[in-house]
Structure 1
Amino acid sequence: MEETFSYTVEQFADLQILRYRVPGFEQLSLRQKMLVYYLSEAALEGRDILFDQNGKYNLQIRRLLETLYVHFNGNRDTEEFRLFEIYLKRVWFSNGIHHHYACDKFVPGFSPGYLSMLIDAVSPSVLPLAGEEDVQAMCNKLFPVIFSPDVMPKRVNQTDGEDLVQTSAANYYEGVTQSEAETFYARQKALGSTDEPVMYGMNSKLVKEQGQITEQVWKVGGMYSEAIERIIDWLEKAETVAENEKQIQVIRLLIEFYRTGSLHTFDEYSIAWLKDTSSRVDFVNGFIESYGDPLGMKASWESIVDFKDLEATRRTELISGEAQWFEDHSPVDVRFKKKSVKGVSAKVVTAAILGGDLYPSTAIGINLPNSNWIRSVHGSKSVTIGNLTEAYNRAARGNGFREEFVYGDTELALLDKYADITDDLHTDLHECLGHGSGKLLPGVDADALKAYGSTVEEARADLFGLYYLADSKLLELGLLPDAEAYKAAYYSYMMNGLMTQLVRIEPGHTVEEAHMRNRQLIARWVLEQGKTDKVVEMVVREGKTYVRINDYLHLRTLFGRLLAEVQRIKSEGDYEAARLLVETYGVQVDPILHAEVLRRYKRLHLAPYKGFVNPVYTLQTDAEGKVTDVLVSYTEGYAEQMLRYAREYANVK
């Protein structure tokens, strides 16, 4: 009997929990279904790694809260217990005690006294005491971390002029300063290869003990060994049902990397992964993105398992097949263009499971590997995640957001007609071509932009996509229905960058997250540069502020100008120019406009952030224990899933 499917699960705080379908799973072969199952288990085994990376007390705090949630037998029908439950759900969603996007610590709505009462109401034997500590010692340690706004206030601090390492709560450094960390890795880079430089520091924690700075490497026998060993167990099972020899090689190299921690092996794995373009089932598993490190070096653990959407992939194959044309016609200086674009592949996929830093909140597009030299020599592989985009779109229909913030009927009609198409296409251009475009000049360090590197890179990819959305080439390729369609993407991007993304910022705060800084940077730069010609305006009507675009073609020209400058900054490693650009346009918030946006948004009763519960996969076996099928179910609830994951994938002590 088919389950009744609803995309929306629940809503609390500033979060909405959704479901996503996995269409096409039933049509996979049994071997492919088993591959998805084994890789999905590997994707869940690393969950606790991310909690620990995000903060050294996160796991003990989460386990304390879960224990109280499960074992407390007192009155749950109170306001304080409701606030306790919301706090726990937020910790689950953010993989720690800091907001998953804004990076600020969220302080509970319940009191320390109430938490003490919950602790006293359960047996000490079930509490997650660390080592030899007693209950009081645990409380003395954790209560300031949970309740004090001054203790570990930001997971990632990006404030210019401060020591970003010592003021960030992320658990990538201990006992070292920003200067010491930068010097440590500068010395490693000086001794390493300049042609094929590995991503130093990517898979380790940097610590100073007794005056000595050393790396605690994340590998078998090192930090996170138990979780990594469990991941390897499932990868070895996946190898037995892999689709082809290329995929077997990918899995083997990843296992070798996990066993040795060798960054050279990771590069070998990355090259093998991007060259495997024939497998239907694909996956990412490992230490990948560096947004959680204030220095942009150390990678958070994440995983996704997916399979190719054969019909929808036609769109991305058309784009990637023309990669050299797009590179050649880019408005950037010829010195920064690739003479030969290599190995660009792209596809639309159906996500089967999300893990680590891609769960519950996830990207809708991925472009890897991140190594600049591999991109230059071997290329990159991009995926657009179609079923997640569909879930977002289905959940947003009829919620009143556009009607509240869009300027007029003309713009609403544009968005209604074209937004879904152009949003997907912008994601494709961003991931397939934007990240893979351009090159560093010889001798430029890939980490030269330091804390501003992530923002500049996201701006570069966004601008590449925006510039080409209005190009007749997309009409020629049949990717847009007509010459007006791009305007929908331009309007929604400018409205978001100038106004509506502010719903994600707390009053009095600045913009911290790299993607948000990127969007504001672009929108505010073109607003200022086009002010004389009134290309884009902020207009007030009946007491409400709106974005109005008066000249879409001129706006495209401004996007091209900014793309040329951002690419120059990236290619030359111009740190000071990056700092000025980001700090001038991407960080500060107009408090009056911010208050207005928050006020208008609050009336809609919407949640600005969304994430997902995963489907559940179950092996079906015959009397002899042979697997006969893999079933997928969509009925597991949010708390139910989080508590099950806590029981079944507790691999970091």
Structure 2
Amino acid sequence: MASNRARAPDQASPVHRLAIKPLFDSLPPRDKLYAHYLSQAAWKGARIILRQTSLESEAIFNFIIEAYRACEGEWSQFEEVCAVTGDEVKAFLSYAGLFLYNLGNFYGEGGQKFVPDLRKESLEKIVGCVGMTGSAAENLVEGMTAVTPQNTGYPSDTAVSSYYLGDRITRTEIKEVQLYMQEEGVEPENTRVRKTIHKGNAVFDILQTSTQTGNSKLTTAAQLGGPRFRRMKGDHQDEISTISAHLQRASMYAQNQNQKAVLDCHMYSFNTGDLREYRRGQEIWVKDKSPSIEHILGFVETYRDPHGVRAEWEGVVCIADPEETKKMEVFVASAAKFCTLLPWATAENEGKGLFEKDVVVIPQFAIVHALTMCCPYVWEASNLPNYNDIRETHGSKNMIIANRMSVNCNSSGASLYLQPQDRELYRQNLHTIRFVATVIHELLGHGTGKLLSETAPGIFNFDATNPPIDPLTGQTVASCYHPNETYWSVFEDIANSVEECRAILMSAYLIDKIEILAIFGYDEISALTADDMVYLSYLHLGVEVLRSLEHYNPDDKKWTQAHSQGYFAIFKHLLIEGNGILTVHHDPNTSELHVTVDSTKILTDGKPALGRLMCALHIWRCTANVEACRPFYENLASVEGVYETWRSVVATKPEQRPKFVQGNTLLKKNGEVEYREYEESDEGIIRSWAERGPL
């Protein structure tokens, strides 16, 4: 059985420039300064991400930058000085480029570990040439070449998570820490946990990111066997202090008072570690409508915490594209009525039903170009903030990263799992398919739903004396969220995947609606017809599922990527309940693997099957019914039998993962800001990081 072993980076992996120079150059000087200081703050979080990825990542980062400086970017010097071959230097550069793109030695998307594709002896020579010797050199080489742990996940013999340090922690202990934090009113996003043994008892230090320092007393929990919990401020202190200093400078060039207020909230939260002020900043951020410079800064996404509650640093700065954004205003204006088309819609609440908010606050929508993305990978779109109470009362923002999405036009592996008759049409229109799907996914997928909650003791956001009827059981709903509970704290490790699965389903379920496709310009007479779009969208489901199987680890039977798990759950559901709408063709002799769609069954079988699954996930999410959701979803996402056979085929044909090289903003002596681009190569990626200054 093939497994997800640590693998060497593909030297042929394409490197793409996150192109934005003309747009940046067109900004007025004040906006350039605002974007520059925001970008400086974003990049200063790189070391936080490195520490959140693995214990060895920060040392590997330092080594790569020192290697660049040792040869001043003339990498061929290593051939003679270190007595290694040109191919070995290329292999090292490929590893270094991939490492810097992912900000760690585990893929940001998928969580698998990767190692250099060169002999250990050759790597040791390069390390020696940079001036490292002794135990430091030995530890560095071991950290770069060790094939275990193989992936990120709950700490085990094969998986690691740098959100959980010290002695190995169990899932039960993580839940105990979570309960303690809920009781104390401490949110987990900006924390890590370190377990130690003290006088025979486990002690859990909750490390809270802040510039302030200080420890609380050990909290005694007699029923758990003695002293257990201690809060410790000051995690990532140096980086957070520098980030705040850059935000202070950025505030001088903010475009309005809302932007200043957001940065003030960020700085206060970063200083104290108190996320309540960060939440307040998010409320204000949502009110800053259609800014020309947009940003996301803080501990945002919880994808890589196996427990799904602790978040990764994310520093993103974007420039708006108002002309492209304007084209989507019709969709945003019409989005609320589309809620009446969903499977849980009933006559109440103006046709939306009781599992939607009284007033559906459709996310603001913007097409932007990324100037800076200090993240473990360059993603295509985002819908924030992740705090559901803010989304329900203040709204949210959706951003499509146009200069990332455009790269889909050049995807070489896009049609690998299609038969010849479908391949070319799919390749030609992949960018369009993904764009339309992403808009629906973000605006309606993540923008719909009302979490039935007891917001304070005895106070509910629904009629608790006459609860809604659960469409899955025909009975009144029997559960809801209690005070201090969130969707993520209740659904834990499956929360992200269930939410992404629900959003993917939304775009697939609504893609046949003529009124939606017309907004994007597709009808029966367009070059790419509406029927073509529907057919290609179902093909896309199949393609994405087979591609996603690379993100399943058969050794511990875990998915390493939330979207991939969601895609697979949908696919398996369609194979079971779709009456042959999707078929996978596998030739064991040639290892060919293809997916086909029966277009005659899209509306009669495919759409109803998608609706049933979407309705179940939506209602369980709205009612905090994790007891029903977990066994169903985990079973649906399990990979066994023929699915494992397909996964084994996919594992033998790993796709080339793209890497992105980003530019730098530089403050010149005359006070002007310059944008510097780099070549589309591993050397360009390394140089870009070396020229970002001390991190």
Q: Give the TM-score normalised by the residue count of structure 2.
A: 0.79
Match of 2:547 among 490, 493, 500: 500
> What residue ranges of structure 2 are gaps of 5+ in the alignment?
1-8, 71-77, 213-233, 346-352, 454-479, 525-529
1:592–1:636 CA distance, 2 compared to 1 (3 A): closer
Query: Residue in 1 aligned with 2:534?
Result: 487
SS in 1 for 2:240: helix
**Alignment-mate amino acid for residue 583 of structure 2:** E
1:146–1:486 CA distance, 2 compared to 1 (3 A): same
Query: Residue in 2 aligned with 1:463?
Result: 505
5 Å-filtered alignment, 1:1-80, equals 12-13=10-11, 15-22=13-20, 23-68=22-67, 71=70, 73-77=81-85, 79-80=87-88
1:30–1:251 CA distance, 2 compared to 1 (3 A): same
Query: Residue in 2 aligned with 1:538?
Result: 584
Query: Residue in 2 aligned with 1:347?
Result: 366
Match of 2:614 among 532, 554, 563: 563
Which deviates more from structure 2 when the two are superposed, residues 608-617 or residues 298-307?
A: 608-617
CA–CA separation in structure 2 for the residues paired with 1:103 and 1:467: 29
CA–CA separation in structure 2 for the residues paired with 1:332 and 1:301: 36
1:78–1:388 CA distance, 2 compared to 1 (3 A): closer
CA–CA separation in structure 1 for the residues paired with 2:92 and 2:678: 27
Match of 1:286 among 298, 304, 311: 298
CA–CA separation in structure 2 for the residues paired with 1:90 and 1:179: 35
Cα distance, 1:308 vs structure 2:
1.6
1:581–1:173 CA distance, 2 compared to 1 (3 A): farther
CA–CA separation in structure 1 for the residues paired with 2:46 and 2:506: 34
Query: Residue in 2 aligned with 1:155?
Result: 152
SS in 1 for 2:315: strand
SS in 1 for 2:368: strand
Cα distance, 1:349 vs structure 2:
0.9
Query: Residue in 2 aligned with 1:132?
Result: none
**Alignment-mate amino acid for residue 16 of structure 1:** P
Match of 2:403 among 362, 365, 387: 387
- Per-residue CA deviation, residues 599-637 of structure 1 (Å, 9 max, x unaligned), is 6x57xxxx432231112334456xxx343x644535475
CA contact (8 A) 1:34 1:630 kept: no
CA contact (8 A) 2:664 2:692 kept: no
CA–CA separation in structure 1 for the residues paired with 2:369 and 2:27: 12
CA contact (8 A) 1:620 1:631 kept: no
CA contact (8 A) 1:97 1:105 kept: yes
Match of 1:616 among 660, 664, 673: 664
Query: Residue in 1 aligned with 2:190?
Result: 203
Number of residue pairs matched by the alignment: 600
Q: CA RMSD in A?
A: 3.0
SS in 2 for 1:383: strand
Query: Residue in 1 aligned with 2:631?
Result: 580
CA–CA separation in structure 2 for the residues paired with 1:326 and 1:265: 34
Query: Residue in 2 aligned with 1:174?
Result: 166
CA contact (8 A) 1:47 1:649 kept: no
1:19–1:107 CA distance, 2 compared to 1 (3 A): closer
5 Å-filtered alignment, 1:631-642, equals 631-635=675-679, 637-642=681-686
**Alignment-mate amino acid for residue 500 of structure 1:** R
Cα distance, 1:50 vs structure 2:
0.4
- Per-residue CA deviation, residues 358-389 of structure 1 (Å, 9 max, x unaligned), is xxx21110000011211122221100111211
1:608–1:504 CA distance, 2 compared to 1 (3 A): farther
CA–CA separation in structure 2 for the residues paired with 1:320 and 1:49: 36
- Per-residue CA deviation, residues 86-121 of structure 1 (Å, 9 max, x unaligned), is 333332233222233332322444444444444445
Which deviates more from structure 2 when the two are superposed, residues 210-219 or residues 343-352?
A: 210-219
Match of 2:646 among 583, 593, 596: 593
SS in 1 for 2:616: helix
Query: Residue in 2 aligned with 1:438?
Result: 449
CA contact (8 A) 2:319 2:370 kept: yes
Identity of aligned residues (%): 22
Cα distance, 1:643 vs structure 2:
4.8
Cα distance, 1:646 vs structure 2:
4.7
Which deviates more from structure 2 when the two are superposed, residues 435-444 or residues 562-571?
A: 435-444
Match of 2:572 among 524, 535, 547: 524
CA–CA separation in structure 2 for the residues paired with 1:69 and 1:352: 24
Cα distance, 1:476 vs structure 2:
5.2
- Per-residue CA deviation, residues 215-251 of structure 1 (Å, 9 max, x unaligned), is 2211213111221222222212211111112112112
**Alignment-mate amino acid for residue 421 of structure 1:** T
CA–CA separation in structure 2 for the residues paired with 1:246 and 1:377: 17
CA–CA separation in structure 2 for the residues paired with 1:608 and 1:492: 21
1:191–1:75 CA distance, 2 compared to 1 (3 A): closer
Query: Residue in 1 aligned with 2:560?
Result: 512
Match of 1:330 among 323, 342, 355: 342
CA–CA separation in structure 2 for the residues paired with 1:565 and 1:181: 28
**Alignment-mate amino acid for residue 571 of structure 1:** C
Query: Residue in 2 aligned with 1:232?
Result: 244
1:327–1:34 CA distance, 2 compared to 1 (3 A): same
**Alignment-mate amino acid for residue 515 of structure 2:** K
Match of 1:428 among 419, 439, 455: 439
CA–CA separation in structure 1 for the residues paired with 2:523 and 2:257: 40
CA contact (8 A) 1:235 1:251 kept: yes
Match of 1:219 among 210, 220, 230: 210
1:326–1:285 CA distance, 2 compared to 1 (3 A): same
1:112–1:569 CA distance, 2 compared to 1 (3 A): same
Q: Give the TM-score normalised by the residue count of structure 1.
A: 0.84
SS in 2 for 1:499: helix
CA contact (8 A) 1:454 1:514 kept: yes
- Per-residue CA deviation, residues 333-365 of structure 1 (Å, 9 max, x unaligned), is 6442222212621111111121133xxx21110
CA–CA separation in structure 2 for the residues paired with 1:165 and 1:596: 26
Which deviates more from structure 2 when the two are superposed, residues 85-94 or residues 379-388?
A: 85-94
CA–CA separation in structure 2 for the residues paired with 1:391 and 1:370: 27
Cα distance, 1:201 vs structure 2:
1.0
Which deviates more from structure 2 when the two are superposed, residues 89-98 or residues 69-78?
A: 69-78
SS in 2 for 1:303: strand
CA–CA separation in structure 2 for the residues paired with 1:325 and 1:99: 39
Query: Residue in 2 aligned with 1:363?
Result: 379
1:262–1:489 CA distance, 2 compared to 1 (3 A): farther
Query: Residue in 2 aligned with 1:406?
Result: 418
